[in-house]
Structure 1
Amino acid sequence: MVWVRSEYAGALSVISAWLCALIPWNITYSPDIAGGSLLFVRFPFFQVRYAWGIDVAQRVALSNPLSALSLQAGQSIEVAYQTWAIGAGVLAFAVLLSFVYYAREEELEAGPIDPVRLMGGLLGAAALVLSLSTYLLVTRGFPGIPVPLGIVVLFVLSGMLLTVERTE
């Protein structure tokens, strides 16, 4: 079964990296925290925390993986945030590759490494690392139910890029 035609594989790999950078990899709703609720929407490079029913300075807070990690220092879920930072780094490399591939497609296509397969591998690695982060959040006592929406998309796009039939 062919998911994508060979001549469109490069464009798909570029768009896949951009899409994966823009969709949330994890959405977690945490009810009954200090009499209120929290909703965490975690994108690869930042998270948005919505709070209601809780007396906090900001109802909506924005943080990146490193600042979120610093808030969890010494906590049992610190390793989950460290893992998220690693996953964000892998995806950042994929996005950087996508810009280079977009700008210099012919040069990369002529190189020793297939850029489409490389992108598929990077997206797959990011999916694995962010899956581990979700697992660590759940098993280390982070309250709520995570929905790993972006992780599923990462795995699907990775699989498509890794299995595309490349023709010359």
Structure 2
Amino acid sequence: MDRAPELAAFAAFVAALVPWSVSVSDGAFAQSIVVRFVFGAVELSFGARSLDMTRAAVPVTDIGSQYGGDLARLGTLWLVAAALLVIALALALALVVAGDRLLVGAFDPVRVMGALCLGMALVLSGAIWLLWQQTSPVPIPIGVIALFLFGVGLLTVDRTRDTRTSTGASG
């Protein structure tokens, strides 16, 4: 595929911009929406008791300092995913800047990006599992599904190049 490097860079940018989890809690007196991105979370609360507030947090302050046990492990998984995303964004930037110069040799940045996306998807799947086990609103894994699709797609894309030249009709 001619556009595999561009698709690999696009996958990293999508991973940074699409939330990996969205949770909606509808209580008797208030409604809360938690949108979790890899680099942070936004919680929107609406209703009589919540006074319509908005709270933003990063993985360390959101999970590690407020909870213990499995939810502290969730924060660790979240930080691992953030570290993988930093590597993926650096590789995406290198793909955009260096272009075809990065595609020489045995190093295949498209496969590496696929492995990074799949790694983020697996780590965030563990975080989704812990959220599902420990919190009442069911998390919807929007970004996790996208990461699985990008990871599998980039790892299985046909990267062979047709180097044969046509020599004309023989006959």
Q: TM-score, normalised by structure 1?
A: 0.87
Kept in 2: contact 1:77–1:142 (CA 8 A): no
Q: Which residue of 2 aligns with 1:91?
A: 85
Deviations 1:104-140 (A, max 9, x none): 122320142200000000000000000100001111x
CA distance in 1, matches of 2:107, 2:126: 28
Find 1:23's aligned residue among 10, 18, 35: 18
Deviations 1:23-80 (A, max 9, x none): 01100112328x4232100111111101122645871111111221343243541111
Larger mean CA deviation between 146-155 and 57-66 belongs to 57-66
Query: How much has 1:21 moved relative to structure 2?
Result: 0.9
Does residue 1:164 correspond to 2:153, yes or no?
no
Q: SS where residue 41 of structure 1 aligns?
A: strand
- Map 1:56-135 to 2 at 5 A: 56=50, 59-74=53-68, 76-135=70-129
Q: Which residue of 2 aligns with 1:150?
A: 143
The unaligned stretches of length 5 or more in structure 1 are 1-5
The unaligned stretches of length 5 or more in structure 2 are 162-171
Kept in 1: contact 2:30–2:50 (CA 8 A): no
CA distance in 2, matches of 1:83, 1:56: 29
CA distance in 1, matches of 2:105, 2:49: 56
Q: TM-score, normalised by structure 2?
A: 0.86
Q: From the superposition, tell whether residues 124 and 30 of structure 1 become closer, same or farther in structure 2 (CA, over 3 Å).
A: same
Q: Which residue of 1 aligns with 2:34?
A: 40
